[in-house]
Structure 1
Amino acid sequence: GLLPPVPPGTGGVYPVHDGDGKGDGDGHGTSEPDVYAYGLPRLLVCQDPSIARMLLANHVHLEAACPVLTAVDALPLAPRLTAALERAGGATVHVLHDASPSGLVLPARIRAALGPVPGVRVSSMGLVPRHVAALRLPSGRGPVPGPVLGTGLPPGLLPAEARWLARGRFAEVAAVPPARLVRTVLRVTRGSRPPRASLRSDLRGLRDTGFLTWPSA
């Protein structure tokens, strides 16, 4: 509630126009008309438009080579965007959402919007209630959402977490410290990287083989 309202149409990474300055009718226009001809290995969808704006302002989309959209901009998914994900082979749609009933069902909504697209995985980046406890995030209490169990929540949710949600509790991604949130998003979207061999170990190996050592008398 401390941030000003988000202007409509500013959540996506691409400006909503094509090369002729007109929209493409699906909300995912771009000044580069051939951008959809390539595979898109990863996509980040944020429930909160303010979080998407913050990540874009910190150039997360450039560092992770990952377009950032809001749920409002992403749903329904444009056919060209879906085709780019499929073309990449093994693409992942990451979903960053609040620890709330509406947030926890967002990955399932996006999965349903994708339809039967082979090779595209939808992955929840969080938050979930156990993250709230681990990070000691402030949480709020709203109206009791009714029966929470069995309402499309992710299958990995623990019973204690479902009870936490059933009491009307929730926590927002905005409560995560910004620097930590940016680091986490970059780590998850970029994935694990192979360990980089240190120069010191390389030199030690060369010394053991007789290279760069004093000649013996």
Structure 2
Amino acid sequence: MKCINCGTDNKLKDRTANQGRCIKCNHPFAFEPTSMSNVKITDPFFAKAIADISANNTLFFTPKQLLYLLDNRLRNKSFSVIILLIPFTIFNLISAIRSFFLLPLSMSFFLSLVFLTQSISKKINNKVRQKNAKALQFLEGIILVGGILLSLTVNSFPIFFIVVIIGMLDIYLGTRQLGRISLVTQELLFSQSQVKDWLDRWQQINGSILKILPSPNQENTPATVNPDVTAYSFDRLVVCDSAALAQLLIANNFHFENNCAILSITGYPQSIFDTTMQMLRRNPDLKVYAVHDCNPRGIGLVDNLRTNANWFLNSNAVIIDIGLTPRQIIATKRGMFIQSSPESAQAAKQLPKELRQSLSAEELAWLESGKFVELESFTPQRIIKVL
């Protein structure tokens, strides 16, 4: 593992002999991958993750955004039985020529199960699942062609029948999985508390991470605002369904660069919430943009803004839903981190009738299956670019 301080490559025996420090500059290592259980993290890996999530230390980010980035990069990419396809193909052909039919058939069945299992696994990412689905198609193509040639050679209808059924079935399964991969749910490999421990350890050794945001601070004491400022208003307001997202946008100066106000449905930032709302209500042409997670609570954000007296009940403000919505998730071909939970499924079934009528049958089915996507699964750079 390379030292992030001087770049020296330290082998395990070097790190162990020097009490977890670099043999050249004596800088401590924050992580020892060989002693970690479910995931393996190195100092250069963690440093690059921080640099990437912050766009080279130019953007603020939340701890949960770092969690999602680390999870995506640490998913099981190291080993795949796909590499066995070439030697397996050679073995299959030799065995077929020698008429050892049962052995390659049993191995084919085993590999088919492995590829199918990995193509639906919640512990690997979409890219690896896609490779396994394609490998399943390729493998069964080999079985189909080789088996048919063998059956013709030995003039055996039972062999022909078996390989055709198995081959066509697995080609179908592989094709089916390729079409479903973008909608398969995933599970996080580790918890937010583990990331917190890693961050504490990293900052203890390497100093504070300047661009990581703390938990949103809800100040109950109203801030003093210059009367000359409150005489003005805004043409646009962005309402987030979480204080964390509102804090992220404000910290990255989205409100200055796009001449808009930013608030959360929870009232963040509380110290200027009432003053900002007074300013907004002065503008009869106000446009409100609702940005939220793709979950039942987020789907109800626009309705909440329209019917809540603290927001825009009996107001002429134009409220625009800019997502995330189930139809956006369903339509996209890009891999999103889709999760599921019984709580989300139950909340979806309790959505108001008017809101349910605004959703398609496919969207309702998606929500009622418990699926959801969090905006914090995207990097700050991507969220800001989309908004």
TM (normalized to structure 1)?
A: 0.66
Given the alignment, which residue of 346, 351, 356 partners 1:145? 346
1:171 corresponds to which residue?
Answer: 373
Contact 1:104 1:154 in 2 (8 A): no
Given the alignment, which residue of 291, 297, 301 partners 1:96? 291
2:364 corresponds to which residue?
Answer: 162
**How far apart are 1:101 and its partner, in Å?**
0.5
1:87 corresponds to which residue?
Answer: 282
Which runs of 5 or more residues in structure 2 are unaligned? 1-63, 68-191, 197-213
Contact 1:38 1:88 in 2 (8 A): no
Q: Distance between the aligned counterparts of 1:122 and 1:112, measured in 2?
A: 12
State the one-letter code of the partner of 2:378. V
The answer to whether the aligner puts 1:130 opposite 2:327 as a matched pair is yes
Q: Distance between the aligned counterparts of 2:263 and 2:281, measured in 1?
A: 18
**How far apart are 1:48 and its partner, in Å?**
2.4
Which runs of 5 or more residues in structure 1 are unaligned? 11-15, 17-22, 186-217
Q: Distance between the aligned counterparts of 1:56 and 1:81, measured in 2?
A: 14
SS at match of 2:255: helix
**How far apart are 1:156 and its partner, in Å?**
4.3
1:40 corresponds to which residue?
Answer: 234
Q: Distance between the aligned counterparts of 2:241 and 2:340, measured in 1?
A: 19
Give the strand-richer structure, 1 or 2: 1
**How far apart are 1:172 and its partner, in Å?**
0.7
State the one-letter code of the partner of 1:40. F
Per-residue Cα deviation, 1:12-32 (whole angstroms, up to 9, x for no partner) = xxxx7xxxxxx44xxxx4532
Assess, with a 3 A threshold, how the Cα gap between structure 1 residues 7 and 58 changes in structure 2: closer, same or farther: closer
Assess, with a 3 A threshold, how the Cα gap between structure 1 residues 178 and 74 changes in structure 2: closer, same or farther: closer
Written as runs of structure 1 = structure 2, the 5 A alignment for 1:106-117 is 106-113=301-308, 114-117=312-315
2:218 corresponds to which residue?
Answer: 9
Assess, with a 3 A threshold, how the Cα gap between structure 1 residues 67 and 78 changes in structure 2: closer, same or farther: closer
TM (normalized to structure 2)?
A: 0.39
1:201 corresponds to which residue?
Answer: none
Written as runs of structure 1 = structure 2, the 5 A alignment for 1:195-206 is none
1:209 corresponds to which residue?
Answer: none
Q: Distance between the aligned counterparts of 1:60 and 1:121, measured in 2?
A: 21
Written as runs of structure 1 = structure 2, the 5 A alignment for 1:51-70 is 51-70=245-264
Q: Distance between the aligned counterparts of 1:83 and 1:71, measured in 2?
A: 16
2:59 corresponds to which residue?
Answer: none
SS at match of 2:346: coil
**How far apart are 1:33 and its partner, in Å?**
3.1
Paired residues in the alignment total 169
Q: Distance between the aligned counterparts of 2:268 and 2:217, measured in 1?
A: 13
Contact 1:149 1:162 in 2 (8 A): no
**How far apart are 1:131 and its partner, in Å?**
1.9
State the one-letter code of the partner of 1:139. I
Choose 1 or 2 for highest CA Rg: 2
Bigger RCO of structures 1 and 2 (CA < 8 A, at least 6 apart): 1
State the one-letter code of the partner of 1:116. N
Per-residue Cα deviation, 1:3-49 (whole angstroms, up to 9, x for no partner) = 77624317xxxxx7xxxxxx44xxxx453234332232111111122
Q: Distance between the aligned counterparts of 2:232 and 2:360, measured in 1?
A: 39
**How far apart are 1:155 and its partner, in Å?**
5.2
Q: Which shifted more, 66-75 or 85-94?
A: 66-75
The answer to whether the aligner puts 1:120 opposite 2:317 as a matched pair is yes
Q: Distance between the aligned counterparts of 2:269 and 2:297, measured in 1?
A: 15
State the one-letter code of the partner of 1:128. T
1:200 corresponds to which residue?
Answer: none
Task: Name the Cα RMSD after superposition.
Answer: 2.9
Q: Distance between the aligned counterparts of 2:289 and 2:255, measured in 1?
A: 13
Contact 1:105 1:152 in 2 (8 A): no
Q: Distance between the aligned counterparts of 1:92 and 1:56, measured in 2?
A: 18
State the one-letter code of the partner of 2:249. L
Q: Distance between the aligned counterparts of 2:264 and 2:247, measured in 1?
A: 9
